Amino acid sequence: MAKQNKPVSHKVKTALVKTTGQLLFVAKSPDEQLGDLFSQVQARRVYDDGKTFVDLVPKKRVRQIVKEYNLVKQDPNFDLGDFVSRHFYEFAPHKENEGFIMSPAQNPREHVRQLWMQLERRNRKDRGSLVAVPHEYVVPGGRFSEQFYWDSYFIMLGLAADGYWHMIDGMVRNYAYMIRKFGFIPTANRTYFLSRSQPPFFSHMVKLLGTHRGSKRTMVEYLPAMLSEYRFWMRGSRTLTDSVSMPARDRVVRMPNGAILNRYYDNKTTPRPESQLEDIETAERARNANKQKIFLDLRAAAESGWDFSSRWFKNAQSIESIYTTDIVPVDLNCLLYELEKTIGDTYAIMKQSMLAKKFHKFAERRAEAIRTYCWDENERFFMDYDFREGRSTAHVTLAGVFPLYSGVASSEQARLVAERLERDFLKPGGLVMTLIDNGQQWDAPNGWAPLQWVAIVGLRNYGYHELAEEIKQRWIKTTEYVFSTRHKMIEKYDVVDESRVGGGGEYPLQDGFGWTNGVYAALKDEDTPIS
């Protein structure tokens, strides 16, 4: 991934995507395009992982494939798997270099440095569900071969540690491109992700890039994109009449005191195409007769990135009790506080004092609302808020560190959060995601790299350096131990069991792995003297 002078053809293709790509329509999601063919492939588990089929590329026009399918499916000898293999193919040029073998002499830090090249992708043409973007990008790895939104920020931390600023620059430009094209940043550049976003870390990416190419010029350049993202999250806020008759719409919620906070949401109420069978099974088991609400809540949880966790369940042991869209999440609102603050700071740079004051006031109001509604005095911790019931949700989660990360917490609240982290969340391998062990991947006993980073930074912000250092060292030790036994950087870790290998969820444990690499590299390099 060393920076090189790219051939003119590459520059031309990139320019074409930037210009004509804005004008071209994107294909519909595979479930909408393929209809019964899609449903049958997923229902019969032609592939063990539902994401496999939605990522395949049609060999010819979709209408022709559907027409042929409708003609031949009645044949008693019809073989669905054979039909799919003849009409679809996998776009995976990176597999041509699957001979990548780690040197036994490599330490994990060297391994991460070498992995960036293996995780780099380029796609400047729409292929099936994969949406073209102008610049190269780094993917998480495993089944995830797209530019995922919140993953990318933590990946960028590692790219920055290794000096790959041109890659960070390209990835940020890809997101600005998607914002111009779609009006927001989707979960990833796939057509089946175009109805939802993910935790809004774009302003963090802009500020990170600014540390290299100049903070003021970078913030000013990306101000239009930040404003567009903000409008996406705040859409519908002006139409909320009051907190009783219409408390919520889209991604906005009017709180009892009139403040506007946000929730995770999705623009569709159907099963997720990449997990269609699992979502249908969940809805069938649920007591809730409103299946569309179940599908919406599953999708909204996917937008949160925490798919899935007891955080979104009324009954901690039952995904069928999911009610994500009734919840005001503390992490989302802290990230939007930072977006408002960054926009205000940018207007201040531009000498636009009225607009700077406006957005700083938005940020102050949001911070006060977070401290009012997301602080639980009984738990002495920041919690998600159930706006239907008018109280905190029942589950304490690691999302409660975000007010420290964003600087929203008071000094007393930060002290209590630090005490709770040390008492209940800190395990031998790092911080556990929740205090519930129910088989979901975002619950105990798992720990995930991005939340370790958020907690460490948050604690440092308030002066709790000793606890932050303890979390950091335990997490590094966990990562290095699994590397010593498996020679891989994996997606999630068990911070309780001695194996340290995470589990749970809808799919097998993934290796690669983008944000693990990024957080590990950033933390590890803090201990490496600069020569």
Among 221, 326, 345, 491, the one annotated catalytic? 491
Q: Per-residue confidence at 284, pLDDT binned at 50, 70, 90?
A: very high
Beta strands in 109-175 (DSSP E): 120-121, 137-138
pLDDT for 163 equals 98
pLDDT of 245 over the 90 cut: no
Across the chain, which distance is largest between two alpha carbons, in Å? 73
Cα distance from N-terminal residue to C-terminal residue, the chain? 23
Q: Per-residue confidence at 99, pLDDT binned at 50, 70, 90?
A: low
SS3 121: strand
Average pLDDT over every residue of 207-232? 98
Average pLDDT over every residue of 68-75? 96
pLDDT for 531 equals 39
pLDDT tens readout for residues 364-409:
999 999 999 999 999 999 999 999 999 999 999 999 999 999 999 9
Instruction: Return the exposure string of 214-241: e unless at least 16 CB atoms fall within 10 Å of the residue's CB, then b.
Output: ebeebbebbbebbbbbbebbbbbbeebe
* Domain ranges, ordered by start, for the chain: 264-327
Q: Helix-strand-coil percent breakdown of the chain, rounded to 5?
A: 55, 10, 40
pLDDT for 17 equals 83
pLDDT for 103 equals 72
pLDDT of 92 over the 50 cut: yes
pLDDT for 96 equals 65
195, 299 in Cβ contact below 8 A? yes
Average pLDDT over every residue of 295-314? 98
The rounded Cα 427 to chain-centroid distance in angstroms is 24
Residues of the chain with pLDDT > 90, as a percent, come to 88
Query: Across the chain, what does the average pLDDT equal?
Result: 94
pLDDT of 314 over the 90 cut: yes
pLDDT of 100 over the 80 cut: no
Average pLDDT over every residue of 336-347? 98
Among 307, 331, 345, 443, the one annotated catalytic? 307
pLDDT tens readout for residues 416-453:
999 999 999 999 999 999 999 999 999 999 999 999 99
134, 200 in Cβ contact below 8 A? no
Q: Return the axis-axis angle of helices 202-213 and 149-161, rounded to nearest 10°.
A: 20
281 as an active site residue: the answer is no
pLDDT of 512 over the 80 cut: yes
Distance, CA of 513 to CA of 115 (rounded, Å): 9
pLDDT for 13 equals 81
Token couple for 318 = 């039952």
Q: What is the pTM of this model?
A: 0.95
Q: Per-residue confidence at 15, pLDDT binned at 50, 70, 90?
A: confident
470 as an active site residue: the answer is no
Q: Per-residue confidence at 530, pLDDT binned at 50, 70, 90?
A: very low
Q: Per-residue confidence at 98, pLDDT binned at 50, 70, 90?
A: low
pLDDT of 212 over the 60 cut: yes
pLDDT for 399 equals 99
pLDDT of 225 over the 80 cut: yes
Average pLDDT over every residue of 497-521? 92
pLDDT for 357 equals 98
**Phi, psi values for residue 475, rounded to 5°:** -70, -45
H-helix segments, 312-401: 330-349, 353-373
Q: Per-residue confidence at 244, pLDDT binned at 50, 70, 90?
A: confident
Average pLDDT over every residue of 21-50? 94
pLDDT for 101 equals 63
